[in-house]
Amino acid sequence: MTTTDTAPELDPGVAGGVGRTALMVAAARAIETHRPDALARDEFAERFVRAAPASAGWPVRPEQVPSGDADPLWGRLGRYFALRTRVLDDHLLRTAQTGVRQVVLLGAGLDSRAFRLGWPPGCVVHELDTAGMLAFKQAVLDGSGAVPAAERRPLAADLRFDWGDALVGAGFDPGAPTAWLVEGLLLYLPAAAERNILATVDRLSAPGSTLAYEIKNLEGADVRASPVYTTTKARIDIDLPALFDPDPRPASAADLARRGWTVSERSPFDFTRLHGRGPLPEPTDALAANRWIFAEAPTG
């Protein structure tokens, strides 16, 4: 796949900090897309990577990663992102198959779920992210002639602050069940913002709603020397531990349970074993602290 000759410039605010991690995840998805045993496929991911000057030289195919799966960045961490994509794709589609037709992606980044998943008829996908991220994403999608597989409603919002009313103003129906997804955003937000996001999700969730999100419990663990992180910093100048919010994380899963949600917490390695590919535990493991939370709203 090639990009158009008129690929847009990436907003400087997107090219730095957390926005740059969205390009890293897009590169991982692009590499995964071209694997014969791909866990997930995203035909637009390569376009996003090539359209941004900050990532234009990054690998987007397996043959461009000389050490393959042994590479800490594009092998191990890349396959982690691919596994996360597959697991969360499956979660959203399972929820849609129960009759839920309203999807909200908080911190949608450069993923193209509204375009690449097989949504049932009548699905509406709300994508919330910064204005710069959404503008860059839209320009690349427009340049590729992409057609969404569901009704797509992008909404510029700063998720550190109140965004619920703006979502309702964009056509979200709080009386209808919703599939909520917060893929990797919470790791970078202050604890107060995480609490506010989950309280807003709870307030706007009708019975039948689901929620999936990622957390990282670094209490008592120092994983900064992990090859996953040191290689990422050396190779593409993204210092992931420096981007993670340093304050103690809220016990958000326990808080959801107190609000009546049914909550389960899973290790990514559980899904590596389920699918037969993906990262497995290693010494000084940066990924061992990661957990994926799946929750269902109370029925009444």
Residue 72 has a pLDDT of: 94
Q: How many residues does the chain have?
A: 300
Tell me, what's the pLDDT at 161?
94
Tokens 């899904």 — which residue?
A: 271
Structure tokens at 171: 């056509």
Pairing of β 210-216 and β 178-182: parallel
pLDDT reported for residue 282? 85
Rounded to whole angstroms, the Cα distance separating 30 from 173 reads 34
Conformational region of residue 256, where left means phi above 0, alpha means psi within -120 to 50, and beta covers everything else: alpha
User: Which pLDDT does position 16 carry in this prediction?
Assistant: 52
Q: What is the pLDDT of residue 3?
A: 41
Which residue is it, tokens 């994983």? 223
User: What are the CA-CA distances from residue 8 to residues 21, 86, 117, 135, 294 (Å)?
Assistant: 18, 28, 25, 9, 36
Whether residue 4 is predicted with pLDDT greater than 70 in this model: the reply is no
Of the given ranges (21-25, 44-48, 64-68, 114-118), which has the lowest mean pLDDT?
Answer: 64-68
Question: SS in 3 state form for the chain?
Answer: CCCCCCCCCCCHHHHCHHHHHHHHHHHHHHHHHCCCCCCCCCCCHHHHHHHCHHHCCCCCCHHHCCCHHHCHHHHHHHHHHHHHHHHHHHHHHHHHHCCCCEEEEECCCCCCHHHHCCCCCCCEEEEEECHHHHHHHHHHHHHHCCCCCCEEEEEECCCCCCCHHHHHHCCCCCCCCEEEEECCHHHHCCHHHHHHHHHHHHHCCCCCCEEEEEEECCCCCCCCCCHHHHHHHHHHCCCHHHHCCCCCCCCHHHHHHHCCCEEEEECHHHHHHHHCCCCCCCCCCCCCCEEEEEEECCCC
Residue 193: pLDDT above 60? Answer: yes
With a cut of 90, say whether residue 5 has pLDDT above it. Answer: no
pTM of the model: 0.93
For the segment 196-246, what is each residue's pLDDT rounded down to a tens digit?
A: 999 999 999 999 999 999 998 766 566 778 899 999 999 999 999 888 888
Model confidence band, residue 18 (pLDDT cutoffs 50, 70, 90): low
- What pLDDT sits at residue 220? 56
Mean pLDDT of the region 108-116: 96
Residue 1 predicted with pLDDT over 50: no
Q: How far apart are CA 92 and CA 89, in angstroms?
A: 5
Which residue has tokens 């730095």? 16
- Decide which of 125 and 19 is more confident: 125
pLDDT in tens, 265-292: 999 999 999 999 999 888 878 898 899 9
Amino acid occupying residue 133: M
Amino acid at 21: T
Q: Mind listing the domains of the chain with CATH numbers?
A: 12-296 (3.40.50.150)
pLDDT value, residue 66: 85
Burial class from Cβ neighbours inside 10 Å (0-12, 13-18, 19+) for residue 123 reads buried
Q: What does the pLDDT average to over 83-87?
A: 97
Q: Give the pLDDT confidence of 29-69 residue by residue, as tens digits.
A: 999 999 999 999 999 999 999 999 999 999 999 999 988 88
Instruction: Tell whether the model's pLDDT for residue 249 goes beyond 90.
Output: no
Give tens-digit pLDDT for 139-179.
999 999 999 999 999 999 999 999 999 999 999 999 999 99
Q: Cβ neighbours of residue 20 under 8 Å, at least 6 residues apart? A: 14, 54, 55, 238
Q: Return the structure tokens found at 298.
A: 């109370």
